[in-house]
């Protein structure tokens, strides 16, 4: 029997999914700034430090705590790669926002402003226009190529499960594509191609950072600790959690440092949860600073991954 706490968590899930998993619905984004992939020029300088921000729904508030500590220590990435909620936080940071500014946005955020309620009342799936609007408003309507820090959001091509990098074009639409959870939300259609949540293939896209030339990779895993799974939770949650854990483990050898703050199994969107998640991530990052500094001093620790495994729309 599902506990009352689990029921409350499930009820909150609708708002959570609206925030971190909405999609384009039936529309097809065909504007000139449609998200796309452009391979780095052969003579372009390689990013020295990449920050990889993983998926994890509302656990993504923890990304802000990591950013606060790295920024305070003067550790600035040359490349940010994000999946799902990591793409949302990453886009704002790469666009030029400070960690403190992102924290204020997160703490003051009214979740309902990110929900397209009209479609819900019409009996349709929740739309995702508010997500793209939120991201684009907060990056001052810059395109990805205009960001001061290189940025890439990852998604999965729905037709064949091929990983896709978006490193040019409209960041709001790219984040929507990276957050389109299958089974709960429609795929996001861009230039006639459907995309789904990047979490389905690579919840912590470390290899993408290597493929984009990163010499040092600091990754932030905000997924649950599976050993903390309480009894009585739906088997669907357990299955998804283990799938995500195995996917992270497969990419872990390609990272120099992985920060994995334990914000607890159950999530939420209350103000106190946001504050607690950020604080836990700050502490976890401070604990990893010696390893981070050692990795930076050491320089490249792993060869780049062959880029043929990743594609993107031209």
Annotated catalytic residues are 84, 197
Question: What sign for the dihedral angle of Cα 229, 206, 87, 243?
Answer: negative
Report which of 260, 251, 308, 305 is spatially closest to residue 285, judged by C-alpha positions: 260
**Distance between CA atoms of residues 62 and 84, nearest Å:** 14
102 with 89: CB under 8 angstroms? yes
Q: How far does CA 52 lie from the centroid of its chain?
A: 8
**Distance between CA atoms of residues 132 and 114, nearest Å:** 9
Give Cβ neighbours of residue 206 (< 8 Å, ≥ 6 apart).
52, 217, 219, 251, 252, 254, 255
Largest CA distance in the chain: 60
């Amino acid at each position: 029997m599902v506990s009352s706490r689990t029921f409350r968590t499930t009820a909150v899930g609708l708002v959570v999914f609206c925030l971190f998993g909405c999609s384009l619905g039936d529309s097809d984004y065909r504007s000139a700034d449609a998200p796309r992939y452009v391979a780095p020029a052969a003579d372009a300088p390689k990013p020295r430090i990449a920050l990889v921000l993983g998926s994890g729904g509302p656990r993504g508030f923890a990304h802000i705590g990591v950013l606060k500590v790295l920024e305070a220590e003067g550790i600035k990435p040359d490349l940010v790669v994000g999946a799902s909620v990591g793409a949302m936080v990453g886009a704002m940071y790469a666009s030029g926002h400070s960690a403190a500014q992102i924290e204020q946005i997160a703490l003051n955020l009214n979740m309902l402003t990110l929900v397209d309620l009209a479609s819900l009342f019409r009996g349709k799936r929740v739309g995702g226009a508010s997500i793209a609007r939120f991201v684009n408003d907060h990056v001052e309507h810059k395109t990805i190529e205009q960001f001061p820090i290189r940025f890439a959001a990852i998604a999965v091509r729905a037709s064949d499960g091929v990983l896709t990098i978006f490193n040019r074009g409209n960041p709001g639409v790219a984040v929507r594509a990276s957050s389109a959870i299958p089974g709960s939300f429609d795929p996001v259609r861009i230039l006639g191609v459907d995309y789904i949540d990047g979490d389905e293939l690579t919840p912590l896209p470390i290899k993408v950072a290597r493929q984009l030339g990163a010499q040092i990779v600091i990754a932030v895993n905000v997924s649950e600790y599976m050993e903390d799974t309480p009894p009585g939770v739906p088997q669907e949650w357990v299955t998804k959690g283990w799938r995500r854990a195995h996917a992270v483990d497969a990419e872990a050898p390609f990272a120099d440092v992985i920060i994995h703050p334990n914000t607890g199994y159950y999530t939420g969107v209350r103000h106190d949860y946001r504050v607690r998640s950020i604080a836990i991530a700050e502490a976890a990052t401070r604990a990893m600073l010696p390893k981070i500094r050692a990795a930076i001093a050491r320089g490249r620790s792993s060869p780049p991954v062959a880029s043929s495994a990743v594609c993107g729309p031209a």
